[in-house]
Amino acid sequence: MRDTPKGLRLHIGVFGRRNVGKSSLVNAVTGQPVSIVSDTPGTTTDPVEKAQELSPLGPVVFIDTAGLDDAGALGELRVKRTEKTLDRVDVALLVTESGVFGDDEVRIAAMLSERDTPFAVVVNKIDHSPPTPEFLDHIAACCDPAPPVIPVSAVQGLGLLALKEILVRLAPDDWFAEPRLVGDLLRAGELAVLVVPIDLGAPKGRLILPQVQAIRDILDSDARAMVVKERELRDALEQLTHKPALVVCDSQVVLKTAGDTPADVPMTTFSILMARFKGDLARLAEGAAAIDRLRPGDRVLIAEACTHHPLADDIGRVKIPRWLRQYAGGAIQVEVKAGAAYPEDLSPYALVIHCGACVVNRKAMLSRLYHSIRQDVPMTNYGLAISFLQGVLPRVLLPFPAARAAFEKARETWRRSPQERDVMHGGI
């Protein structure tokens, strides 16, 4: 992380009047005592920077600043320095507390707007006094356009996940450079075997995008790719003189592939590669674990990024619903929403299962993911759900230790209260 040049970090500025808890917020989000906190207004005098890795944004730097209402001669200098900081941040958090949104805040908001810097208002100290609907209306009326508002308690660690979701939303699109699909798992000269079923669902005369992208990415790593149908896998592996470094299969044939791949050969699925590529694999793996807590009568949202023509035995509309019902031992209400029909309110659902999202960008996928987690509704994707339902998810997560650990922890995690979970996620 230290190797990342400064300019390649997302700069997140934390602004607001004195004593609202800016330093406390930076300490809570980074999980470290970066800035001194005290009840004396004017504690922070110079900008304090803290660089860290903030999944899924990558390398970021938080900049804690001196209060922008600072009075007196020395105060003026500090205000100038803070204003200079405004010029170099990519996104900003305007911190305040319930009932406090006056000239100082309006001025900071205006300065950010002038610079085209996206920002959110953070209402801190909600443990002490939560914001009233009138206060939220007041903030919206003071700024044009109305900024997103996140209630938090820096001291109790509440709302930090929502804050992370907002940061994902505020970060510039080009910040979300896509990570490698598979090439980083292979060294030059190593072989990956790709298992691609050619069934009714396969498009005529070509491969689907994740398969093509995987082949290209393997070649970019100077590694080698062999593509087989699931029925050929066992023979193909036997004929190899060296074991492959990786086997990647379509989720629909994961059970057969797991059976035909020797236990000491790492294997995964295209869906898992896509989950990592487009989203946050660890969070989606946690979402898969939540299938365990589905009960008859629960509602599950199947979300498709595009409106494709459903096939007779469509994976999202037929197969996954059938397996879910078998797994939960009763009627699970499954609703399918495609394209823009994705609902804002996810509270009726016990789980969201998203498609592989080959047509949407990483930022859009991450926004959906954090949006759902914030509403305390776990999200996973088709392939992870299928692997879970077939009992092979731990195996196909093996090449990704952090995601596997998150999955193992998740069953216990989902039993905790939403507040406890928020604190856990908050320790970003």
Kindly tell me which of 25 and 171 has the beta carbon lying closer to ligand GTP. 25
Q: Which residues contact 170 (CB under 8 A, 6 or more apart)?
A: 91, 118, 119, 120, 148
Count of positions (residues) in the chain: 428
Q: Which of 10, 12, 20, 150 binds ligand GTP (CB under 6 A)?
A: 20
Chosen residue from 43, 52, 98, 333 binding ligand GTP by CB under 6 A? 43
Asked if 42 is part of the footprint of ligand GTP (rule: CB under 6 A), the reply reads yes
Q: Is 50 exposed, middle or buried (0-12, 13-18, 19+ CB in 10 A)?
A: middle
Q: Which is nearer to Mg ion, 41 or 310 (CB)?
A: 41
Angle between helices 401-413 and 281-289 (to 10 degrees): 40
Among 94, 154, 249, 315, contact with ligand GTP (rule: CB under 6 A)? 154
Stretch that binds Mg ion, among 14-22, 217-225, 302-310, 417-425 (CB under 5 A): 14-22
Quick note: the x/- pattern for ligand GTP over 211-250, rule CB under 6 A, is: ----------------------------------------
Does residue 44 interact with Mg ion by CB under 5 A?
yes
Measured between alpha carbons, how far apart are the two ends of the chain, in Å? Answer: 16
Give how far Cα 65 sits from Cα of 6, 35, 45, 187, 381, Å: 18, 10, 7, 44, 40
Spatial CB neighbours of 198, under 8 Å, sequence gap ≥ 6: 229
Among 11, 12, 15, 21, binds ligand GTP (CB under 6 A): 21
Binding mask 67-86 for ligand GTP (x = CB under 6 A): x-------------------
The 8-class DSSP code of residue 319 comes to: I
Question: Which residue in this structure is represented by tokens 């920002």?
Answer: 119
Q: Which of 13, 14, 23, 370 binds Mg ion (CB under 5 A)?
A: 23
Is 64 or 298 the residue whose CB approaches ligand GTP more closely? 64
- Minimum CB distance to ligand GTP smaller for 46 or for 222: 46
What is the Cα–Cα distance from 373 to 304, expressed in whole angstroms?
Answer: 18
CB atoms < 10 A from the CB of 113, how many? 15
Residues that bind Mg ion (CB under 5 A): 22-23, 43-44
Residues that bind ligand GTP (CB under 6 A): 16, 18-24, 37-39, 41-44, 67, 124-125, 127-128, 153-155
